[in-house]
Amino acid sequence: MTQAQIGEIDSAETLLRLAATYKETPDYRRMSWALEQLLRLRPNAGEMRLALATSYAMMGEKTKTYDTLLKLQQAGYGFDLANNPNFTKVADTKVWEYIVEQLAINLRPFGEGKVMFELPGGDHLFDSIAYDPKRQQFLVGSVRDGSILRLSRDGRPAAFIQPDASNGLWSIYAMAVDAADDALYVASTSSVYFKGFKQEDYGKAGVFKFSLADGKLLDKYVLTPDGAPQTLSSIAVGARGEVFAADGLRNIIYRVDGGRLKPLLANPRLTSLRGLAASGNGRFLYFADYTMGVFGIDLAAGRAFDVRYDPAKLALGGIDGVSWYDNHLIVIQNGMTPHRVMRLALSRDGRTVIGATPLDAGHPQLTLPTYGTVTGDFLYYIANSQKNQYDDFGVPRDLAKIKPVAIFRTDLRFGWDASKHESLSQAATEISKSMPGSGRFSNVEGGSTSVTGN
C-alpha cells in the first residue's frame, strides 16, 4: 500500500494489523506509515509511539527516532533502552545517551505515597473501594464472592454485606457513597468471575442501594436483559445525589432516573469506559476511556465535551480510576509505563487541563493500580489489583500467586504550592498550550452525546 492509501484508513484495528504484518515482512517504512496514522487517531497510545520510534531506528532515521522518544519522555513515559538491539543504528551519539538517561529517570519511583494496609489474602479479587465518612470506615468489594467488607482506618476488616437471595448481589465492580443520604451504591454484574455464577444470570447487571447504617437493601435498578452481556464497572454519585453508572463493555453511561437506569451517553467509537467522577458543583460528569482519554458531560445541557489539554506534554491514555478533588481530576493510570497517579488542574470552566502534577509513579508496589476513593486530602487506592491472576473464564491461574491487595495512600496536596499552575514535570512549568485530546467527541462519528448518537 502507498503512504496515501494508509493515510486514509480510519480503523485502529486495521492499522494495528497492518503494522504487525509489515513488521514481520519486514517493511519498516510501511510499518512506520501505519503507526503514524494510528497515532493520529490514538495519540495517547504510548506503546505504539515506542513501536514507531523502533521502526524509525531500524531504518537508521536518527532525527525521527530521537524526536519520537523525546515526546514520550516529556509526556512522562519511562523505558529502559540502554541495551535494546532494535536501536543499534541510532545509538552512537551523545543525543542518544541523553535520551536513554532521561527515559530511565522516568522509571524511578516518585512521590510520597505508601501502603497503609493490606486486605485479607486469598481468592477474593477485591477491586473496589469507598469511604463512609460518618463512621470513618472504608468499604471494599469482592468480584469473586460478591461480599462487601468494612475496614477501620488502619485496615481491620469486618463483614458487612453478603450476597443472598434477598439482595441478589453478584460480583462487586464499583461502589460510591452518598454521604448526605447515608447510602452506599454498588455496581454489580453477574460475571464468570463470581463464585456463585449461574448461567441463566450471565450478563445481568444493576445498581444496588444499601443503607450504610446496617447494610439493608434499600433499592435496586437492574438493566433489562437483552441476550448480550452487560457489565456495570464504574459508578459515581453527583453533588445533588444523582447516581451514574457505566457499562465498560458496551460503552454506555446510565443515570438512575425514575426508578430505573436510563442511558445518558453512548458512542460507537468509545473503546472502554472506565472511571467516573462528578464535579463538586454538580455541573459535570467526567469519564475516562482507556484508549481515548478524558471527557466530560455537561449535565444541564445533556452534551458531552472534550477535556482540552496539550497531548505533546501530557498522556491521558490507560486511565482506570478517576476522582474529583478541589477543581482537579485525580487519575490512576495503569496503561502506561510507569504506572502513576496524576493530579490534573482544571480551568475555571472545567473544560481544560491547565496543568498536571504526578503524585505517585513507578513505586514497585504499583503493579496494577486501579480505583481509589478520596478521603479528606488523601487518595486511598488499590495498588496491586490481582485481576490479571485470573483467566478469561474467571478461574485463578495459580492460587499460590494471588497476593493480598495493598491499599496505597497519597497526599492530594503534594506539591500544591510549588506553582500556581501545576505541571507534568517535577520542575513545575505551566502547560500553556491546550487543544482537544485524543478521541475528540467533535470528531467522533455521530458526535455522540446520547444513546442515539445524535
- Please tell me whether residues 218 and 353 are part of one structural domain: yes
- Please tell me whether residues 269 and 152 are part of one structural domain: yes
Q: Is residue 449 part of a domain?
A: no
Cα distances (angstroms) measured from residue 168 to each of 196, 230, 233, 237, 364: 11, 16, 17, 22, 38
How far from the centroid of its chain's Cα atoms is residue 411's Cα? 19
pLDDT the model gives residue 432 = 30
- Please tell me whether residues 20 and 120 are part of one structural domain: no
Q: What is the CATH number of the domain that holds 212?
A: 2.130.10.10
Q: Is residue 410 part of a domain?
A: yes
- Please tell me whether residues 89 and 124 are part of one structural domain: no
DSSP run (H or E) holding 67: helix 62-74
- Please tell me whether residues 142 and 101 are part of one structural domain: no
- Please tell me whether residues 131 and 237 are part of one structural domain: yes
Q: Which domain holds residue 352?
A: 114-443
Q: Is residue 454 part of a domain?
A: no
Q: Measured between alpha carbons, how far is 432 from 111 in angstroms, rounded to an integer?
A: 24
pLDDT the model gives residue 312 = 82
| Overall domain count for the chain | 2
pLDDT the model gives residue 236 = 98
- Please tell me whether residues 269 and 364 are part of one structural domain: yes
Rounded to a whole number of angstroms, the distance between the first and last alpha carbons of the chain is 35
pLDDT the model gives residue 418 = 57
Q: Which of 367, 315, 363, 365 is nearest to 108 (CA)?
A: 363
Q: Is residue 453 part of a domain?
A: no
- Please tell me whether residues 65 and 121 are part of one structural domain: no
pTM: 0.90
- Please tell me whether residues 337 and 414 are part of one structural domain: yes
- Please tell me whether residues 339 and 429 are part of one structural domain: yes
pLDDT the model gives residue 442 = 39
- Please tell me whether residues 32 and 164 are part of one structural domain: no
**Strand bridging mode 378-382 / 372-375:** antiparallel
Last residue within a domain, chosen from 46, 78, 105? 105
Last residue within a domain, chosen from 74, 105, 136? 105
- Please tell me whether residues 330 and 432 are part of one structural domain: yes
DSSP annotation of 362: S
Q: Measured between alpha carbons, how far is 202 from 385 in angstroms, rounded to an integer?
A: 23
Q: Which residues of the chain have pLDDT under 50?
A: 419, 421-454
Last residue within a domain, chosen from 56, 88, 105? 105
Q: What is the CATH number of the domain that holds 47?
A: 1.25.40
